[in-house]
Structure 1
Amino acid sequence: MKVLLLTVSLAMILMEARGHIHPQKNFDLKRFGGKWFRVGLAYDAPSFAQYRSSLRVIMGKVDPKDNGDANMTVWRTKAEGCKSKLYSYMKTTVPGVFKYFSTRHKIIKDVTVVETNYTEYALLFKYKKFNREYSQVSLYGRTQKLRADLIEKFKKYSMEHGFPDESIITPPPAEACPLPSH
């Protein structure tokens, strides 16, 4: 019964927190384009704990489109080499808020660029409703290492939005995959 109450309470906190997610004011997709590294992750999925120790920094590249959409290519270093995946982010009526189709979960997910200074870091909030509601906060950097105050900002933001400390990680750097030359 205690576990059920805790689960329901956490779900209510996360649902309330999601309602207060606002995108970067005056978001500029062109400035947001380019290479990024995911250097922090907070995730509320129960299965996340088993993968914590194996996660590494991943690299991505945002390619803005003229119509306001963007392609996000993500590279992960695996035992068999670099593996990439392309995500097509579709603009919404709110600048800085996108939707994309998850081929893994076969559903549409929301992603909001909450805060960025474009040259150093970005905080993103991702939301999906699968068999229950899930949320994720990601900290991206233009490099694999960010200043301590930015890591603290990410952790504070995540906790303010209902993520417990044990669900917030800053994985170790990974060997970066080379970006294609196009």
Structure 2
Amino acid sequence: MKSILLGWVLALLWVSVAQAEVLVQPDFDAKKFSGLWYVVSMASDCKVFLGKKDHLLMSTSTVKAITGGNLSVHMEFPRADRCNQVDAEYLKVGSEGHFRVPALGYLDVRIVDTDYSSFAVVYIYKELEGALSTMVQLYSRTQEASPQAVKAFQDFYPTVGLPDDMMVTLPKSDVCSLRGTEAP
């Protein structure tokens, strides 16, 4: 029993140290970050993601800066025959660009790198179905990410322990713009 407890304590300490090493965008500006973003690529060790990654489509996030450094985010996730929508508030913790999203099980969200006008690299540490996982998303203002954006994403996700086989570039979809919406 003591060895199991010690193992959990060491694992939690390792996670805390690993997360502490993920820095946020210096001088993050929530107002500049606001607007429409396409989620064009993702990498994750989440078992649910890995089981579905070959069937996922490009999603969108519409971000709005709100009081206290928080963000209001409207997400649309296309599926084969419908569009799921989710609204969530990203609650600022610590420095600008660092959030948590209790409604989605996101324990730690960090805007790692952005030029505000074309791309952002977003780090997410989350809990889903009782399991903890790491995810990195590449946001783009257009459906075609720039070479600079792709390089920033590809340079970052291995630093948090995600190998190339856990990455996917998401295909475009017009499901959300053409078919209407359904609640999640």
TM-score using structure 2 length: 0.80
How does 1:96-135 map onto structure 2 within 5 Å? 96-103=97-104, 107=105, 109-129=107-127, 131-135=130-134
Equivalent position amino acid for 2:142 in 1? T
CA gap of 1:159–1:85, structure 2 versus 1, over 3 A, is same
2:48 corresponding residue in structure 1: 47
> Given that residues 41 and 138 in structure 2 are in contact (C-alpha distance below 8 angstroms), is that contact kept between their aligned partners in structure 1?
yes
> Given that residues 59 and 177 in structure 1 are in contact (C-alpha distance below 8 angstroms), is that contact kept between their aligned partners in structure 2?
no
How many residue pairs are counted as aligned between the two chains?
A: 165
How does 1:130-141 map onto structure 2 within 5 Å? 131-141=130-140
2:71 corresponding residue in structure 1: 70
What is the CA deviation profile of residues 41-66 of structure 1, one whole-angstrom value per residue up to 9, with x for unaligned ones? 01011333221210111011001113
Cα distance in 1 for partners of 2:106, 2:55 equals: 26
Cα distance in 2 for partners of 1:28, 1:176 equals: 31
Q: Which has the higher helix share?
A: 2
**Which sections of structure 2, spanning at least 5 residues, go unmatched?**
1-10, 178-184
Query: Identity over the aligned pairs, expressed in percent?
Result: 26
Cα distance in 1 for partners of 2:160, 2:79 equals: 31
2:61 corresponding residue in structure 1: 60
Cα distance in 2 for partners of 1:61, 1:70 equals: 10
1:84 corresponding residue in structure 2: 85
Question: C-alpha root-mean-square deviation of aligned residues, in Å?
Answer: 2.3
CA gap of 1:140–1:108, structure 2 versus 1, over 3 A, is closer
